A and B are shown apart, each in its own frame.
Chain A
Amino acid sequence: DAKTTQPPSMDCAEGRAANLPCNHSTISGNEYVYWYRQIHSQGPQYIIHGLKNNETNEMASLIITEDRKSSTLILPHATLRDTAVYYCIVRAYTGTASKLTFGTGTRLQVTL
């Protein structure tokens, strides 16, 4: 699976949009971009995933560049409860199961 690069940490003011970038320049055609987050001492929480189109759900939006070499996770109105480590993961989906390869993620701190 392709390697991802994320900034180690980011800050965001409560109520503002949090934009978390991820580079995956070696992504292949059958690889999806997944985002998970992990709040302190809890298991990772699935947020969103996409292949090449932008995706939105009740938690966040995922913007993938046209060349698919980078993406941005957007939390539209960050709250203190969004403080967590956010992981960007690229994983091939070929109809069979495959492991997730986590990096060290971006630690997002939401402040008042």
Chain B
Amino acid sequence: DTGVSQDPRHKITKRGQNVTFRCDPISEHNRLYWYRQTLGQGPEFLTYFQNEAQLEKSRLLSDRFSAERPKGSFSTLEIQRTEQGDSAMYLCASSSWGDQETQYFGPGTRLLVL
């Protein structure tokens, strides 16, 4: 399977702990996006990368959140000092210029903060 992959699929943590999620995009896709989805809502945009450069960040991305894509391939999303309100599904998507930037999503990482 050459789709977008995310790891871990599930994460339970205690409030105040740090967590890190990984996303591996479709090969050759130079654009990578992070979204967050809470129960009953559609996904909300967090940030996106073109190659290594982080080009846009949502206001939802507080100072406790940081995303990286160091070599323009996989990306990590770290949440420091987690809060119960961070409990959500974190989704990653990737796209390429040649496909009119159609975004393809991974399975998501479901985070539960106790």
Residues of A with C-beta under 8 A to B91: 43-44
Which range contains the number of B residues in contact with the other chain?
A: 20 to 34
| B100 near A93: Cβ-Cβ < 8 Å | yes
| B102 near A99: Cβ-Cβ < 8 Å | no
Which residue of A has the minimal Cβ distance to B6? Answer: A43
Residues of A with C-beta under 8 A to B102: 34, 46, 49
Provide the bound-state CA to CA distance between A101 and B35, in Å. Answer: 10
8 Å CB interface, A58-111 against B: 87, 93, 95-105
Provide the bound-state CA to CA distance between A90 and B101, in Å. Answer: 13
| B45 near A101: Cβ-Cβ < 8 Å | yes
Provide the bound-state CA to CA distance between A103 and B43, in Å. Answer: 8
State the A residues within 8 Å of B (CB). Answer: 32, 34, 36, 41-46, 49, 87, 93, 95-105
- Given A93-B101, A104-B42, output 11 extra A-B contacts at Cβ < 8 Å: A34-B102, A46-B104, A93-B100, A96-B101, A97-B31, A97-B50, A99-B45, A100-B43, A100-B45, A102-B44, A104-B40
